Structure 1
Amino acid sequence: MFCVMNEIKKGYILDSILEAKDDPVLAKKALGNLVSFSIEHGINGNLYKKYILYTLIYNDNSYTRSIEMNQKTIGQSNIILMDYQEYFELYNKEFEFLNEAKYFQFKREEDNYLASLLDSLYNEIEKMNNYHNFVRVIESFYKTKGLADMAIYKAFRVDNGILKPIKNVLNVTFNDLIGYDMQKSLLCENTEFFLNGKPYNNVLLYGDAGTGKSTSVKALINKYFDKGLRIIEVYKHQMAEISKIINKLKSRPYHYVIYMDDLSFEENEIEYKYLKSIIEGGIEPKPENVVIYATSNRRHLIKETISDNGGVFDDLHRNETQAEKLSLSYRFGLQIYYSSLSIDEFRSMVKEMAIKNNIIMDEEKLIIEASKWQMRNGTLSGRCAEQFIKYLSNKIQN
């Protein structure tokens, strides 16, 4: 059996605090470490206690994962109970040289989720600062929020087979994507089926560039994060790693979207075969807490060539080639089309965006300027409208 305290004391910040004692040089260093930690993570208030809670959140091991999965409790093991008793005593330990770190304040970002979590944990424990409440709050956190990065971050990328958090996720919502109500509704409905354990589909969002496909997926992160949704961004060159990634995810109590943006394959690329086998087929089925969402400018993800459509001597071979190329798209049970805008839809979008951005301009002049911008950029899309509004906003401010 592991020992929680041994895991905790590996942290250099806590080590420096415990070693400082009456040494003013070491005490100053320990305080500096704590303040640096708080600034890095945007943490205010009692820095020492919140650092202890931070370390508990990141106490990721086999036993805490079993608690996270609702398979065990802290009280099931006397050794674990003793560890948390020691932890509780450490949480309440007083260090005179840390007194000025009890009320540390500095300006932080409003949407700092980690800081908010620590505030909530701290306030809940301080309401009734005794051992039993301490254990109850920590155990409840593991079961409702989770452990380590998965409890804190919305999205992740793959780096040499390791999931690394994406710390600055664009704070976009479906309200920011004007129009495309049917597309947004289909995507949200499928995602809610997925989160609620109902039959769901892998999704392909396809259509012209700048129409809101990627924005829709990003909006999902913010809409359903509190319900346990996490996004794993995977690039085409990482297809061979997907099976290993999924294997790491299947035992966690979250729901994961494996997200591939701007997905397409040239004729000579074979990475799509990995994706095909994962979506459908293979000896081991894809776990129910993993779904695949992809965006593409192509409905048929593998590029077709002239030789696929004619001029080939062997018709049977040609048909087999076409079927192979189409089979990947067909494995996405839900295909959602994002079309370019009509000129009226484009103008309507520009007017709505102008209102949202507090741009006051004669409507006729606004439409004339937007039309000029669109003609220079050559697209009738939400991205084009957004770029125009940004340009106009900067021009007015200057």
Structure 2
Amino acid sequence: MTDENNKDVLERIANALERLAPPAANPVDLSSGDAFLWDGRTPKRIAPFQPTDIDLLTGIDPQKSRLLDNTSRHAQGHAAHDVLLWGSRGMGKSALAKSVVRALQAQGKDIALIEAPSDHLETLPALFELLASTKRSFIIFIDDIGFSEGSGEPRTLRSMLEGGASQRPANVRLYITSNRRHIVSRQMSEQDDPVNPRDAVDDQLALSDRFGLRLGFHAASQDDYLAIIARYAETHGLDYDRDDALLWAKQRGSRSGRVAWQYIVELAGRADKFLA
């Protein structure tokens, strides 16, 4: 084969590889935009960012007030905590984390939310590096975090929260939700471990201790559940029957904000109405 033929073959191979390779992603402007999704490599803008109106979140007023205050401090460049929102499913942990950011944006505060899946923890230092180059305040939101037994991820997260080489920058705070108060489950087998069992437990509890603000969300009482429904029903112009609302919760074995919203969706469907 001649040199000319070799050159032609190589050019065709290079062109084919170029067609197969994904185009380079345009860098996202982190100085604007309300919310982003971190996919482990690059942040992508979430548009539109329309979480539940914070005024609609009912039955969690103390948690709402404390998280709004902490996030407002951070948005103004003041001292603020990383936050663990823990407790019962469907009680508004995730909704509140997003809603406080949106409420502050509506007030003109320069703050944005970045949602990061819990299976991308090892990539967060790269995200920190990107965010550290801006003066804007960011909340990194990790929803429903959990770790498998024996995983090294709890220590990775601890390092990010305090004292490690991958520590998050000053303009970033972590807001994390978990069904467990201490994030990592405490197995009875730990008590049977003959080698420093107390150290094993302390190592797990040390993770939740790294959060300066820990907000608990507990199962809704009957009155709280009905109050949530009443607030939603009023906002969307729906009528509801108290006994019917209680039956809805009983059939699902749970009273929570999520179950209340599902009941509102049911009411709107019965009334031939659309919910945005």
For the aligned pair, the TM-score class normalised by the smaller chain equals 0.7 to 0.9
Normalised by the size of structure 1, how large is the TM-score?
0.59
Query: Corresponding residue for 2:114?
Result: 232
* Contact 2:121 2:153 survives alignment (8 Å): yes
Question: What letter corresponds to residue 313 of structure 1 in structure 2?
Answer: P
SS at match of 2:38: strand
User: Does residue 271 of structure 2 align to residue 396 of structure 1?
Assistant: yes
Query: Corresponding residue for 2:33?
Result: 153
* Contact 2:159 2:165 survives alignment (8 Å): no
Larger Rg over CA atoms = 1
Query: Corresponding residue for 2:15?
Result: none
Please report how far the alpha carbon of residue 245 of structure 1 lies from its aligned counterpart in structure 2 after TM superposition. 0.7
* Number of aligned residues: 246
Question: What letter corresponds to residue 92 of structure 2 in structure 1?
Answer: G
CA RMSD of aligned residues (A): 1.9
Written as runs of structure 1 = structure 2, the 5 A alignment for 1:92-131 is none
- CA deviations 1:193-227 (Å, max 9, x no partner) are 21222221100011100000000011123112331
* Contact 1:237 1:271 survives alignment (8 Å): no
SS at match of 1:300: coil
Query: Corresponding residue for 2:170?
Result: 288
User: Does residue 253 of structure 2 align to residue 378 of structure 1?
Assistant: yes
Relative to structure 1, the CA distance from residue 157 to residue 339 in structure 2 (aligned partners, 3 Å threshold; closer, same or farther) is same
Counterpart Cα distance in 2 of 1:376 and 1:360:
20
Please report how far the alpha carbon of residue 169 of structure 1 lies from its aligned counterpart in structure 2 after TM superposition. 2.2
User: Does residue 210 of structure 2 align to residue 331 of structure 1?
Assistant: yes
Please report how far the alpha carbon of residue 192 of structure 1 lies from its aligned counterpart in structure 2 after TM superposition. 1.4
Of structures 1 and 2, the one with the larger relative CO (CA 8 A, separation 6+) is 2
Query: Corresponding residue for 1:387?
Result: 262
Counterpart Cα distance in 1 of 2:85 and 2:166:
26
User: Does residue 226 of structure 2 align to residue 347 of structure 1?
Assistant: yes
Moved more, 328-337 or 261-270: 261-270
Relative to structure 1, the CA distance from residue 244 to residue 372 in structure 2 (aligned partners, 3 Å threshold; closer, same or farther) is same
Question: What letter corresponds to residue 171 of structure 2 in structure 1?
Answer: N
Counterpart Cα distance in 1 of 2:203 and 2:184:
9
Counterpart Cα distance in 1 of 2:166 and 2:148:
28
SS at match of 2:97: helix
Query: Corresponding residue for 1:34?
Result: none
Counterpart Cα distance in 2 of 1:333 and 1:191:
13
Query: Corresponding residue for 2:197?
Result: 318
Query: Corresponding residue for 2:77?
Result: 197
Q: Select the residue among 340, 354, 357 that pairs with 2:236.
A: 357
Please report how far the alpha carbon of residue 298 of structure 1 lies from its aligned counterpart in structure 2 after TM superposition. 0.7
SS at match of 2:181: coil
Structure 1 outlier segments of 4+, above 4 Å: none
Counterpart Cα distance in 1 of 2:128 and 2:78:
20
Query: Corresponding residue for 2:102?
Result: 222
Question: What letter corresponds to residue 326 of structure 1 in structure 2?
Answer: L
Q: Select the residue among 251, 274, 277 that pairs with 2:159.
A: 277
Normalised by the size of structure 2, how large is the TM-score?
0.83
- CA deviations 1:160-219 (Å, max 9, x no partner) are 421111123234221121221110110011111212222211000111000000000111
Please report how far the alpha carbon of residue 283 of structure 1 lies from its aligned counterpart in structure 2 after TM superposition. 4.1
* Contact 1:239 1:272 survives alignment (8 Å): no
User: Does residue 62 of structure 2 align to residue 187 of structure 1?
Assistant: no
Question: What letter corresponds to residue 165 of structure 1 in structure 2?
Answer: R
Counterpart Cα distance in 2 of 1:333 and 1:254:
21
SS at match of 2:271: helix
Counterpart Cα distance in 1 of 2:69 and 2:223:
28
Structure 2: tracts of 5 or more residues without a match: 1-25
SS at match of 2:78: coil
Query: Corresponding residue for 1:168?
Result: 48
Counterpart Cα distance in 1 of 2:104 and 2:57:
16
Counterpart Cα distance in 2 of 1:369 and 1:160:
45
Which has the larger share of helix? 1
Query: Corresponding residue for 2:134?
Result: 252
Question: What letter corresponds to residue 281 of structure 1 in structure 2?
Answer: G
Question: What letter corresponds to residue 368 of structure 1 in structure 2?
Answer: D
